[in-house]
């Protein structure tokens, strides 16, 4: 079950504005170019920003996400008819997708918590890739201990078009590595509504990532930096054997 931030229609409307300019996505467009990827599946596509950028470059794109409210926002965007949108997790990637590339951005991979779900995710991705196709995903480096910054995050105020001013605050609720949980509270000034979203993320180190990929039929081609967040993220490129 995705977090309310993605699955509640009122909160999903905030994502694109609160998440801000998507400087992180250029790197994924460059990777699609580098791989010559014509068919791309964006897993955990959320509100569809990357899927639409990829489709805008003439690629055949499928966006997959379990959060219907986020997909509804994606489907309403300019160019959305050029993307196939599917509600679900990796198992919903069509077996005949024959994709050159499956992307998973925005640290969506960290929302996969258990070993069983991680294995199921890798199997779904693998079945959607052509042999030699690439799974490219990002995940925060556990050694950077990002949650220590979240613990000290003060509240933020954002003016969201069509919604009004929203105050957002984050409270760290659990650190039991490899799991970290936090609660985000959104206060809508226009009508006084307060909504919360509970998040748990799993932090996997490079050895764990590599071992799990090898077992599930991938070879790790590269582990890179996210250029906009040096030292913070692994960007993994894993090729279907």
Ligand X SMILES: C[S@@+](CC[C@H](N)C(=O)[O-])C[C@H]1O[C@@H](n2cnc3c(N)ncnc32)[C@H](O)[C@@H]1O
State the Cα–Cα distance between residues 213 and 201, nearest whole angstrom: 19
Contacts of residue 125, defined as CB under 8 A and 6 or more positions apart, other chains included, come to 41, 43, 90, 93, 102, 104, 135
Question: DSSP assignment, residue 93?
Answer: S
* Using rule CB under 6 A, residue 2 touches ligand X: yes
Of the candidates 14, 41, 60, 66, which one interacts with ligand X according to CB under 6 A? 66
Q: Of the listed pieces 61-69, 76-84, 125-133, 211-219, which binds ligand X according to CB under 6 A?
A: 61-69
Q: How far is the CB of 51 from ligand X (least distance, A)?
A: 9
State the Cα–Cα distance between residues 24 and 20, nearest whole angstrom: 10
Q: Of the listed pieces 62-70, 149-157, 169-177, 179-187, which binds ligand X according to CB under 6 A?
A: 62-70
- Of 69, 107, 98, 101, the closest CA to residue 85 belongs to 69
CB 74 within 8 A of CB 46: yes
User: Among residue numbers 112 through 151, which ones bind ligand X (CB under 6 A)?
Assistant: 112
Identity of the residue, 60 or 105, whose beta carbon is nearer to ligand X in the bound complex: 105
The structure tokens listed for 65 are: 């996400």
The structure tokens listed for 126 are: 């693998």
Q: Of the listed pieces 40-48, 182-190, 218-226, 227-235, which binds ligand X according to CB under 6 A?
A: 40-48
Q: How far is the CB of 83 from ligand X (least distance, A)?
A: 13
- Of 177, 179, 183, the closest CA to residue 151 belongs to 183
Phi-psi region of 224 (alpha: psi -120 to 50; beta: other; left: phi over 0): beta
* Using rule CB under 6 A, residue 46 touches ligand X: yes
Identity of the residue, 21 or 192, whose beta carbon is nearer to ligand X in the bound complex: 21
Identity of the residue, 35 or 52, whose beta carbon is nearer to ligand X in the bound complex: 52
Place of tokens 């899927």: 51
* Using rule CB under 6 A, residue 67 touches ligand X: yes
Identity of the residue, 153 or 190, whose beta carbon is nearer to ligand X in the bound complex: 153
Q: How many residues bind ligand X (CB under 6 A)?
A: 19
Of the candidates 35, 54, 89, 97, which one interacts with ligand X according to CB under 6 A? 89
CB 125 within 8 A of CB 90: yes
Question: Using CB under 6 A as the criterion, which residues of the chain lie in contact with ligand X when the complex forms?
Answer: 2, 6, 43-46, 49-50, 65-67, 70, 89-90, 105-106, 108, 111-112
């Amino acid at each position: 079950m995705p977090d309310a931030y993605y699955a509640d229609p009122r909160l999903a409307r905030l994502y694109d504005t609160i998440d801000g300019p998507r400087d992180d996505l250029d790197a994924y467009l460059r990777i699609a170019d580098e791989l010559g990827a014509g068919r791309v599946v964006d897993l955990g596509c959320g509100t569809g920003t990357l899927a639409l950028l990829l489709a805008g470059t003439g690629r055949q794109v499928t966006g997959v996400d379990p959060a219907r409210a986020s997909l509804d926002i994606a489907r309403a965007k300019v160019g959305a008819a050029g993307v196939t949108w599917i509600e679900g997790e990796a198992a919903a990637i069509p077996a005949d997708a024959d994709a050159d590339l499956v992307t998973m951005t925005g640290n969506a991979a960290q929302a996969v918590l258990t070993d069983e779900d991680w294995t199921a995710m890798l199997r779904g991705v693998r079945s959607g890739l052509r042999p030699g196709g690439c799974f490219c995903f990002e995940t925060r480096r556990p050694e950077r201990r990002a949650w220590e910054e979240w613990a000290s995050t003060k509240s933020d105020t954002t003016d969201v078009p069509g919604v009004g001013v929203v105050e957002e605050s984050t409270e760290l609720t659990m650190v039991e590595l490899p799991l970290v949980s936090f609660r985000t509270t959104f206060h809508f000034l226009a009508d006084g509504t307060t909504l919360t979203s509970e998040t748990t993320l799993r932090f996997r180190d490079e050895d764990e990532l590599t071992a799990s990929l090898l077992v599930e039929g991938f070879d790790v081609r590269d582990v890179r930096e996210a250029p906009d967040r040096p030292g913070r993220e692994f960007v993994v490129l894993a090729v279907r054997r």
